[in-house]
Structure 1
Amino acid sequence: MQGLAGFGFPVEEAVLAADAVVDLVHDGAAQIARLRDPGDPSRPSPSVAAALEHYSPGVRAAVERIIYAPGEHLARKLGLVLDGIAARRTAR
């Protein structure tokens, strides 16, 4: 947070940015644990498999990419948030 403040972020925004990143990583780790079937990690969990049946083909394919590469998905999502934080810094 001090680093963000050093880049010109007001302290409250620095705390908000850091909190958003921590929340995203924590939530992503928790979701990764729920995506796969504990009895057969090569398959989606029963609740995820049931939800997939309600999605359109395009949405289903995107969600399946998350299920089978959750770490990559989390990294992409984190990159998006960090890009937004960096853009806000550049706009200052």
Structure 2
Amino acid sequence: MGKIRRTFDAAFKKKAVDLYLRDGMGYETVAKELGIEPSVVRRWVEHYQAEGMTGLEEKRGKAKGPGIGRPRTNPEDPETKIKRLEAENALLKKLLQM
């Protein structure tokens, strides 16, 4: 089985970042104290330095803006669908007569 992904709230992440930036602790020390991986602390610090508190908020499952992601398909209007199906039927009839 794979690892269970834990999520942390912004306050916990801020505490880890403060221990690193303000208290001068290393990634390893902060990670041991809080029971997380050093790479996680490093990522949080980088996000905090780049974006501030918004960098520490959960981003998974949120759209980044309009037009992002898979485009939605517009259903065919009934008239276009009828014309397409009639053309398809005509072609099939022609093929059956050969």
Q: TM-score normalized by structure 1?
A: 0.31
Pick the structure with more strand per residue: 1
Pick the structure with more helix per residue: 1
Taking CA–CA contacts closer than 8 Å with sequence separation of 6 or more, which of the two structures ends up with the larger relative contact order? 1
Greater Rg over alpha carbons, structure:
2
